[in-house]
Amino acid sequence: MKKNIFILMLCNVLWLSCNSQTNINEKYNLMPWPNDIIENTSKFIINSGITISINGEDEGRVYKAAVNFLRRLSNRSGVFIDKGFPITNEKGNIIISFETVSSLSINDDESYALNINNNTITIKAKTDVGALRGLETLLQLTANDDAKYYFPGVTINDSPRFVWRGLMIDVSRHFQPIDVLKRNLRAMASVKMNVFHWHLTDDQGFRVESKVYPKLHQLASDGLYYTQIQIKEIVNYASDLGIRVVPEFDVPGHASAFLTAYPELSSKEDYNYTIERYSGVFDPTLNPTKEITYKFLDNLFTEMASLFPDAYFHIGGDENEGKHWDENKDIQAFMTANNLKTNHELQTYFNIRLEKILKKLNKNLMGWDEIMTPNMPKSAVIHAWRGENEGLIKGGSLISAAKAGYKTVLSNGFYIDRMQSLEYHYSVEPIGNIKLTEKEHANILGGEATMWSELVTPLTIDSRIWPRTAAIAERFWSKKEVNNLENMKLRLNDVSYKLEELGITHIRNRDVILRSITNNQDISTLIDLSKICEPLKIYERNKNGVEYKTFSPFSLFADACVADAEDAVIFNKEVKAYLENSNNESLEVVKKSLKKWSNIHNSFQEIKINSKIKDLESFSENISIASEILLMGLETKKKISLNNQTNLTLAINVLKEPCMDVELAIIESLEKLSQFLLQV
């Protein structure tokens, strides 16, 4: 009997725990989702009496984070908090404790324990950075009813899956001012990312002041570079947020900017080196056979290493096709003399020499996965970027690197500039079911989302980074098992608009662009259009007639559109549900959407046309035609007339083609509905 009761109780506990786990996922808009969360029945009311005290030898990181926490909480809740700064003479009702100050290395402990009850909140961490992570979790828990804001009672124990959770920003193709970086660093910290990889040089510009080689910023940046003081400002700002900064100086390829300033380092003489204005892979390459190249890089890296305290230093190393090496007789002779059979071997020779320079500077060399060649020292970190699109297997170089004994970081699958969907990025599991030894496993440091900036300016970059990067951040922090797409989307909705309080412009700048495009006419129709259009993906945007330069306009309709077009995502889901399950509720949503779009051209015609929206005219017309015919078909449930079949086909054919650098994100659903109705 006792035994039975025990089993019954156990079942109950298990069921409750399982059930509550499901509920919990939907109750709290936490992202990344924590390791362990247990609810209690408390509520900590947010009122003017809220106070914070700090237990630990803080060097400023926790104090600043606490002040920011209070500002954000006050603005979010509307509560006039009495004590705007942490208190020192007594205990706060939020007590933050930690043991040591982090030096921001990959070995740092970022774990924390958060406990909320009616009167007290505690955050306990091994390090100050762990305390910061806990504060962000607490802020994400802010909840409200109709009368007050509060923190719900929970106990959370949390720590990251991977130690390297990065965002790379390319500031060469399009320079990004300090304030763009700062707001993105704030946003990174809010989703517990801890590495800012700063892609500082490329064909389109060298973006750091060099006192040793001043022609670099003077001749190769169009005046758009960071002073050394600004570099330090960003490094300190990131450090305050518990974020490491890894600089990248991309060599030997992607070197047009280097060679614009110092052509004597080049692999081809009598070549007109200039700052590149287009996007792509270009020929200018450092000459790896000249000693002056190493002298130069030694001096430069020595200067730059002093600006970046982090232990890692990224030398790029990607996409060097070696065309100028092939054409240079001296280089060929050097290769023969040194028994270097391929350009790849020559580049390895180059990399190994850089590795020595960096070792002297106490830096670990990191490079894109092309650097992983047989002779490369195992101290190098392999940045795995190539995958299926580059003829390899998905995420393949990560696993090869880990097995070969290299530390490695994954970016394949996280190229957010390619404008692929949230679903795509969220589903990229770095390790998957591959069996690894413990040591191999430890070699996988984590991953980085990469924001290449060929097609973004300060106006649009946030909408290309966010909110998708928050989901990627969860992939890097949370357990592998946290992978329910629909649940993640619900939480992301909340996390996304809250990024606005950190200054992120991903939502607000859409309307700015649309006002500009229409010369400040009513933008509601273009908003509706933008919610079903997505910018062309995977660099297609550069292929359709127009070739973008760095100074081309980036305030066009495509720049107002984003991946995961809001209305399209809903429509596509409901069309699927209707066609697969004859779901009636879905049918109603589908019909409502089609009704709205069948009117879109009418309202479009009320806009006074200009050359920036002219081409959208036929697009909107065909959207309305297709929507109207499909709506009629769904409503009458009768076969579409022959005439309308023709019109529908014509319209869909037009809509399959990109228009003004966007694609219609509902096109597949329209086609499916069309096929379905033809079979009625």
Which residue of 551, 566, 585, 657 would you call a contact of a second copy, by CB under 8 A?
Answer: 551
Question: What are the helix and strand counts (H, E) for the chain?
Answer: 26, 19
Q: Which residues neighbour 387 within 8 Å (Cβ) at sequence distance 6 or greater?
A: 393, 394, 395, 396, 397, 412, 413
φ/ψ of 118, rounded to 5, equals -60, -40
Q: Which residue, 1 or 147, has its beta carbon nearer to a second copy? A: 147
The pair of structure tokens assigned to 46 is: 């947010």
**What does R_g of the chain's alpha carbons equal in angstroms?**
27
By CB under 8 A, is residue 606 in contact with a second copy?
no
Q: Which residue, 63 or 282, has its beta carbon nearer to a second copy? A: 63
Listed ranges 208-216, 329-337, 493-501, 650-658: which one lies at the site for a second copy (CB under 8 A): 493-501
How many residues bind a second copy (CB under 8 A)? The answer is 60
By CB under 8 A, is residue 507 in contact with a second copy?
yes
> Residue with structure tokens 């806009």?
607
Cβ atoms of 633 and 647 closer than 8 Å: no
Question: Helix 468-477 crosses helix 178-190 at what angle (to 10 degrees)?
Answer: 50
Cβ atoms of 153 and 139 closer than 8 Å: no
Cβ atoms of 140 and 31 closer than 8 Å: yes
Which letter does DSSP use for residue 170 in this model? Answer: E
> Residue with structure tokens 């495009």?
517
Q: How far apart are CA 289 and CA 268, in angstroms?
A: 12
By CB under 8 A, is residue 236 in contact with a second copy?
no
For residues 40, 43, 49, 52, the Cα torsion angle rounded to the nearest 10 degrees is: 30
Catalytic, 657? Answer no
Which residue of 27, 277, 479, 591 would you call a contact of a second copy, by CB under 8 A?
Answer: 277
Which residue of 17, 22, 40, 75 would you call a contact of a second copy, by CB under 8 A?
Answer: 75
Q: State the pairing for strand pair 407-410/195-199.
A: unpaired
Which own/partner pairs from 6-13 qualify as long-range (CB within 8 Å, at least 24 positions apart)? none
Which residue of 36, 57, 59, 222 would you call a contact of a second copy, by CB under 8 A?
Answer: 222
By CB under 8 A, is residue 509 in contact with a second copy?
yes
By CB under 8 A, is residue 70 in contact with a second copy?
yes
Contact characters 112-151, a second copy, x per CB under 8 A: --------------------------------xxxxxx--
Provide, rounded to whole angstroms, the least separation between the CB of residue 383 and a second copy: 31
Which residue of 614, 638, 639, 656 would you call a contact of a second copy, by CB under 8 A?
Answer: 614
Q: Which residue, 71 or 543, has its beta carbon nearer to a second copy? A: 71
Q: Does a cis peptide bond (omega within 30 degrees of 0) precede residue 458?
A: no
Listed ranges 247-255, 292-300, 388-396, 548-556: which one lies at the site for a second copy (CB under 8 A): 548-556
Contact characters 145-164, a second copy, x per CB under 8 A: xxxxx---------------
Which residue of 318, 500, 540, 621 would you call a contact of a second copy, by CB under 8 A?
Answer: 500
Q: Which residue, 385 or 554, has its beta carbon nearer to a second copy? A: 554
Contact characters 511-530, a second copy, x per CB under 8 A: xx--xxx-xx----------
Q: Which residue, 381 or 495, has its beta carbon nearer to a second copy? A: 495
Q: Which residues neighbour 333 within 8 Å (Cβ) at sequence distance 6 or greater?
A: none
Catalytic residue among 39, 233, 319, 501: 319
Cβ atoms of 121 and 93 closer than 8 Å: yes
By CB under 8 A, is residue 549 in contact with a second copy?
yes
Q: Which residue, 409 or 422, has its beta carbon nearer to a second copy? A: 422
Q: How far is CA 569 from CA 186, 462, 489, 564, 593, in A?
A: 28, 20, 11, 6, 12
Provide, rounded to whole angstroms, the least separation between the CB of residue 123 and a second copy: 21
Q: Name the nearest CA neighbour of 350 among 335, 333, 361, 360.
A: 335
Binding residues vs a second copy (CB under 8 A): 64, 67, 70-71, 74-81, 84-85, 144-149, 177-179, 222-223, 227, 229, 277, 493-494, 497, 500-501, 505, 507-509, 511-512, 515-517, 519-520, 546, 548-556, 608-612, 614
Catalytic residues: 319
